């Protein structure tokens, strides 16, 4: 899959947030969008995923958009707080081939197995973040978009999550919005 971002611009309240951003990326590549807070990283992510329309420019794929599925980690955690981790994963899986044991195995890579059946509202912020990342990976998408995926994680946990993301997204397009790129050396960096 190839994605073309063509001269994307966006204004909010008469303030230009993005100005003629263009790049091309494809399966197997990592694109890291960096910049200070408020400079448009999340806006660009939302335009790429189709949640926000650009004022000018376009985002185009070389395959039919109806066939495209994005594994999205939003800037804020989007979880059903009264459900447990396993139930949260089940809600986003269309693939009936996943058993409860498969889900537990997938979650246990980043989360303590003895916590998986507790309501998510009892999780720490870092545990919720890791759950969102696992959910995006297990949804088996065409490409991944992760907006501040390391928010709320300590340095050791971040390193473990980075390795997990690198392993699980291998061969697919990965787009990350982060303040500073410390972990993805072989990437295409877009500064906004």
Q: What is the pLDDT of residues 130-179, one digit of tens each?
A: 999 999 999 989 999 999 999 989 999 999 999 999 999 999 999 999 98
Q: What is the CATH number of the domain that holds 43?
A: 3.40.50.300
The whole domain housing 159 covers 2-191
* pLDDT tens-digit map of 8-24: 999 999 999 999 999 99
Tally of structural domains, the chain? 1
Residue 2: per-residue pLDDT = 95
Query: Which DSSP string corresponds to 113-172?
Result: GGGTTSBGGGS-HHHHHHHHHHHHHHT--SEEEEESTTTT--HHHHHHHHHHHHHHTTTS
Question: Rounded to two decimals, what is the model's pTM?
Answer: 0.93
How many Å apart are CA 122 and CA 190, to the nearest integer?
36
Q: Which residues contact 136 (CB under 8 A, 6 or more apart)?
A: 71, 72, 73, 144, 146
């Amino acid at each position: 899959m190839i994605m073309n971002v063509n001269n994307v611009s966006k204004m909010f309240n008469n303030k230009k947030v993005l100005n003629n951003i263009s790049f091309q990326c494809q399966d197997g590549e990592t694109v890291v969008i960096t910049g200070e807070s408020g400079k448009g990283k999340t806006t660009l992510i939302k335009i790429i995923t189709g949640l926000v329309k650009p004022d000018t420019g376009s985002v185009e794929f070389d395959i039919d958009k109806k066939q495209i599925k994005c594994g999205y980690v939003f800037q804020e955690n989007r979880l059903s707080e009264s459900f447990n981790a396993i139930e949260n994963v089940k809600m986003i899986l269309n693939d009936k081939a996943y058993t409860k044991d498969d889900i537990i195995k997938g979650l246990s890579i980043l989360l303590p197995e003895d916590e998986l059946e507790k309501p998510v509202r009892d999780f720490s912020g870092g545990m919720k973040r890791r759950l969102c990342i696992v959910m995006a990976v297990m949804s088996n998408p065409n490409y991944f978009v992760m907006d501040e995926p390391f928010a709320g994680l300590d340095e050791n946990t971040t390193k473990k999550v980075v390795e997990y993301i690198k392993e699980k997204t291998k061969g697919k397009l990965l787009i990350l919005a982060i303040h500073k790129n410390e972990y993805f050396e072989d990437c295409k960096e877009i500064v906004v």
